[in-house]
């Protein structure tokens, strides 16, 4: 992990998705710039680990990350995905620990501010707090939905849903229709809540049905609607 090498003043940062950048006053931004830590990580490195004490909060400046739970001798479970502009390490104040691991999916740059600064900003800047509250509420709904899917769908449906989710988060290249991010079978399995072998089998099946095509690890979406039909019964009208 490389620290502060890529650190730039928030005012000069071109990440306009950042909540700090959008909602802080220029005075506050100066304070943030002074006190933040910017880290650059290689793909597959940990941003934080389950059980670590929470010292602050991370804002993704550039890249993508997965939030996963890890249990000895069990498969991992991807709880959610996040990318540029997203927040990692939502937690309460006080002596609390992370429930999950955050791992870089790509080379990644994150800005970290500590609890004290974070909560001082929230206490003085209502617009920021309000925005963060909405973002938490959104994530809460999304996580609840994913829980519903996990508990009620069969393997075929869960794998279709995982591909749809990837399309929502990362999108596809309009030319090639390929997902803008590629995953190992293991990662897909962790996302869908199944085993890697199941992913292989189901992807072969989807290919037969002409819903997708695979090119090594890349997935080309030929019939998104077809995938959505598979999980349709679960959608909210």
Which residues between 100 and 129 bind a second copy (CB under 8 A)? 100, 122-124, 126, 129
> Among 199, 219, 227, 230, which residue sits at the site for DNA (rule: CB under 7 A)?
199
Q: Do residues 104 and 42 make contact, with C-beta atoms less than 8 angstroms apart?
A: yes
Strands 218-221 and 212-215: antiparallel
Residue 213 found at the interface with DNA (CB under 7 A) = no
Q: Which helix (H) or strand (E) is 219 found in, with range?
A: strand 218-221
Residue 154 found at the interface with DNA (CB under 7 A) = yes
Size of the residue set binding a second copy (CB under 8 A): 48
Residue 225, token pair as written in the block: 């609607």
Residue with tokens 């790509």: 106
> Among 43, 49, 97, 217, which residue sits at the site for DNA (rule: CB under 7 A)?
217
Pick from a second copy, DNA, none: which does 55 bind, CB < 5 to 8 A by kind?
Answer: none
Q: Quote the least distance from Cβ 189 to DNA, whole Å.
A: 8
Residue 15, token pair as written in the block: 């990440």
Q: Site mask, a second copy, residues 55-84, x = CB under 8 A?
A: ------------x-x-xx-xx-x-xx----
Residue 85 found at the interface with DNA (CB under 7 A) = no
Q: Do residues 219 and 212 make contact, with C-beta atoms less than 8 angstroms apart?
A: yes
The rounded distance, in Å, linking the Cα atoms of 17 and 217 is: 29
The rounded distance, in Å, linking the Cα atoms of 101 and 80 is: 11
Residue 43 found at the interface with DNA (CB under 7 A) = no
Residue 234 found at the interface with a second copy (CB under 8 A) = yes
Give the residues lining the site for a second copy (CB under 8 A). 50-51, 67, 69, 71-72, 74-75, 77, 79-80, 90-93, 97-100, 122-124, 126, 129-130, 132-134, 136-141, 143-148, 150-152, 193, 233-234, 236-237
Give the residues lining the site for DNA (CB under 7 A). 75, 154-156, 184-186, 193-201, 203-204, 214, 216-217
């Amino acid at each position: 992990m490389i620290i502060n090498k890529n650190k730039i003043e928030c005012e000069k940062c071109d990440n306009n998705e950042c909540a700090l950048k959008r909602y802080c006053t220029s005075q506050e931004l100066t304070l943030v710039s002074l006190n933040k830590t910017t880290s650059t990580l290689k793909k597959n490195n940990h941003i934080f680990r389950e059980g670590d004490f929470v010292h602050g909060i991370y804002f993704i400046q550039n890249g993508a990350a997965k939030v996963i739970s890890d249990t000895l001798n069990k498969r991992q479970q991807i709880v959610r995905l996040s990318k540029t502009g997203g927040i990692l390490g939502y937690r309460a104040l006080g002596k609390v620990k992370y429930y999950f691991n955050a791992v870089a999916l790509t080379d990644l740059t994150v800005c970290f501010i500590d609890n004290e600064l974070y909560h001082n900003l929230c206490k003085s800047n209502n617009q920021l707090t309000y925005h963060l509250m909405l973002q938490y509420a959104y994530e809460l709904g999304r996580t609840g939905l994913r829980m519903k899917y996990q508990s009620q769908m069969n393997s075929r449906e869960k794998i279709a849903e995982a591909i749809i989710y990837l399309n929502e988060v990362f999108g596809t290249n309009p030319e090639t229709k390929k997902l803008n991010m590629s995953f190992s079978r293991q990662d897909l399995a962790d996302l869908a809540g199944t085993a890697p072998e199941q992913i292989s089998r189901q992807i072969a099946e989807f290919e037969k049905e002409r819903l997708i095509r695979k090119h090594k690890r890349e997935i080309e979406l030929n019939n998104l609607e077809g995938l959505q039909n598979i999980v349709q019964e679960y959608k909210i009208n």
